[in-house]
Structure formats: structure tokens, C-alpha cells
Amino acid sequence: MMDNLIKNIKPPGKLKHVTRLFACLLVTVVPLSVLAETDWSSFSIDNDVFYGSDDGYTGGFYYSWIDTPENNRPEIGLLAKAMRWSLSDRDLAADEYSIKTIGQAAVTPDDLDEKHPPLPPDDFPYGGLLFYSDTWLQAYAQQAEKIDVTIGIVGEYSFAEELQKGLHTVIGATDPKGWDTQLNDEVVFQLSRGHMWRSWVSANGSSDLLLSGDAALGTISSSVGVAAMYRFGEQLERNYATALQITSRAANPISAGPISVQSGWYYFAGVNATYLANQIFLDGNTFDNDDQESMDYDHEMIGATVGAVYSWQNWALTFALTDMNLIESNDRMDDYNQYGSLTLAWRND
């Protein structure tokens, strides 16, 4: 069946062979690695319905499989090895985590009934991103390091059109009619490097303060930022390093939150300051963009997120609300910056 699907792909333009091959790799070869033995899996949903809208960053779906130090020492992923040089030397005292994610995200304009919607900067474009992300964390007693390599594709072969139309049919929502105007096909990437410090812990260990810095470079987005997060709850020392995911937009911010947490709970609230140099949904295609204009957005951003994690036995549930830019002066950009996230994680053994 998959062979027939790939044969029926008829991409336009100069990238047809590249996009066909890349789509095949993402939907067939990459997911096969899910079958490898891992300690945890998680499924995350981002959606702007939590803020009462259905445009801008309209939503995303993310599946992650996670190796932890619970049973054996994890092995660094193939893509993450490309940035291994930037980390401290591997130390037996460090807890290590390998997190691999395949996901899809979508952006849409305000009027889904319009077959030829206004183009940027008057409104958001239709755009989808299908990606694979390889993340490696090294956690010490009071600090942690992260590297992340993401590859993906935007355009027709992100399959965002098919997913959104199918979902809207099931729930009886408006049929989005303008996907023929979506971003052009393009293979995209992003490299990310982060560092976190557990800078303060309460006397009884029920509260802590995490400080972090992160930088990303790529055609998906490029940015530098700093963040602070306060947490209150149980067993905080066991999973603070996964909060480094908070600065990543390509992967759900808290998809790895339940790692190594036994039955328990905690609440979190964080703020971040980011300079966003480029973002493909806001700036349009990096190449072959037909002189399409970008959205009018502030590159300097102040964001916030609040949420809670509850775990029991071999399961964990996380919910978070995020606003990527509290000071955005463009009302249209609010629809891009605000979304909710729901994550269910489970232990595989």
C-alpha cells in the first residue's frame, strides 16, 4: 500500500524527486525505528482550540520514543551525533536521555472558506511541516545540556492538508478550501543547542527554579533565547533536564516531562525571552518563494507557559498553555503564538 502511495505522488517543480524520496523516508523508514526497545513513549497534541481560535498555528501532532538511564545507558542517535562535539565529555555521573520525535504541524489563515485567501502580510499562509527530530540530553546534579537535530519537509508532502481536512470532516468543522495556495515544497532543517541550570531548590525539595539558554539555526527557524521556570510538586530532581524542551517549537515543549517520574505530580510556570531571526511559516519559503512577502511580526519575544504533570504507575499526563509572545502588538500574531498542549506518556515495559 505504501509503495502505491509513493508511486502516486506527482510533485510539481524542480524538487519533485527530492520531495518524493524525502516523504518516503519520513513516513516509512524513520518510523521503523519506533520498533526498537525504548523505555517510554509519548503522544502530544497542540491545538489553538484551547484559546478559542482555529487559525495561525492551528495545531500539531507529535509522537516520541524515549530511551532513559532506567535500564541501560542510552545510545546517542545518528543525527544527534553531528552535534556531539559541542557537549561535555560523556561522564558516568551523568543521566542521559535519547528522545526521537516524528511530528506534523500546520498553519492556516483566518478564513477557511476562502479558496484564494489573502497572502502574507495580510494573513497567514497555508503551511504544513512534517519532521523528524533527534534529541540528546545529558543531566548532572545541578545542570543539563541538550542537542537537537531536526529534518523535515514543508509543502504538499507534509500531508497537513489531508490530516486537517480529515479531522475537520470527523468533527464537523469548516472544510479548509485554500490548501492549493500552501507553501512550496522544501526540505528544511534545524540545529539546536541548550544548557540548563537548577539554580535554586527549596529546603524540602518541593520547589525549584530552572534557568536556561538556547540557540537554534536552520531553515525551520533560527533563534536565541533565555528562559526561567518555577516548579512545585514531587520528585522534581528526577526530571528537571527535560524542561530544556520548553524552547523548542519543532518538538512539543513538555513531551518528555514524565521521564523517570514515578507516581506523583508537579505544577510549572515559565517565562522566556527570545530573538527569532526567521521562521518558515512567518517568512515563507527559504528558496523559490515567488517573492512572497513575510508576516509582519516582532522578532523580539517575551513568552510564558503554565501547566501541570500527573503520573501514576506506568502513565503520565501533561497539560500546558503557552503564549509565545505576550507583548505582540499585531493582533493577528496572537493566533500564531497561543496554543495548548496535551501529552500522554507511557512506560513500554
Would 27 be classed as within a structural domain?
A: no
Spatial separation of the C-alpha atoms in residues 69 and 164, rounded to whole Å: 37
Would 18 be classed as within a structural domain?
A: no
Give me the pLDDT at residue 252, please.
Answer: 47
Give me the pLDDT at residue 95, please.
Answer: 85
Would 52 be classed as within a structural domain?
A: yes
Give me the pLDDT at residue 87, please.
Answer: 87
Q: Which residue has the cell 502511495?
A: 5
Give me the pLDDT at residue 71, please.
Answer: 72
Q: What does each C-alpha distance from 12 to 91, 155, 181, 185, 256 come to in angstroms?
A: 49, 11, 13, 9, 38
Quote the Cα angle for 148-71-192, to 5°.
5
Give me the pLDDT at residue 287, please.
Answer: 83
Which cell goes with 166? 480529515
Would 15 be classed as within a structural domain?
A: no
Give me the pLDDT at residue 251, please.
Answer: 45
Q: What does each C-alpha distance from 163 to 43, 66, 156, 175 come to in angstroms?
A: 16, 25, 12, 12
Q: What does each C-alpha distance from 25 to 29, 153, 191, 207 come to in angstroms?
A: 5, 11, 20, 43
Q: Which residue has the cell 529546603?
A: 203
Give me the pLDDT at residue 255, please.
Answer: 46
Would 1 be classed as within a structural domain?
A: no
Would 284 be classed as within a structural domain?
A: yes
Quote the Cα angle for 13-19-22, to 5°.
170
Give me the pLDDT at residue 109, please.
Answer: 87
Would 185 be classed as within a structural domain?
A: yes
Q: Which residue has the cell 479548509?
A: 176
Contact (Cβ atoms closer than 8 angstroms) between residue 39 and residue 65:
no
Give me the pLDDT at residue 7, please.
Answer: 39
Give me the pLDDT at residue 267, please.
Answer: 92
Domain residues for the domain of 63 are: 42-347
234: left (phi over 0), alpha (psi -120 to 50) or beta: beta
pLDDT tens track, the chain, 349 positions: 334 433 344 444 455 555 555 556 555 555 555 555 677 888 888 876 766 665 567 778 888 888 887 777 888 998 999 999 998 776 766 788 898 889 999 988 888 888 888 888 888 899 999 999 999 999 888 899 999 999 999 999 899 988 888 887 887 778 888 899 999 999 999 999 999 999 999 999 999 999 999 999 999 999 999 999 999 998 888 778 777 776 554 444 444 444 545 678 889 999 999 999 999 999 999 987 666 778 888 899 999 999 998 888 888 888 989 888 888 666 677 767 788 888 888 888 7
Whichever domain contains 68, its CATH number is 2.40.128.140
Q: Is the peptide bond before 121 cis (omega within 30 degrees of 0)?
A: yes
Give me the pLDDT at residue 10, please.
Answer: 42
Would 301 be classed as within a structural domain?
A: yes
Spatial separation of the C-alpha atoms in residues 49 and 167, rounded to whole Å: 13
Say how many domains are in the chain: 1
Give me the pLDDT at residue 325, please.
Answer: 83
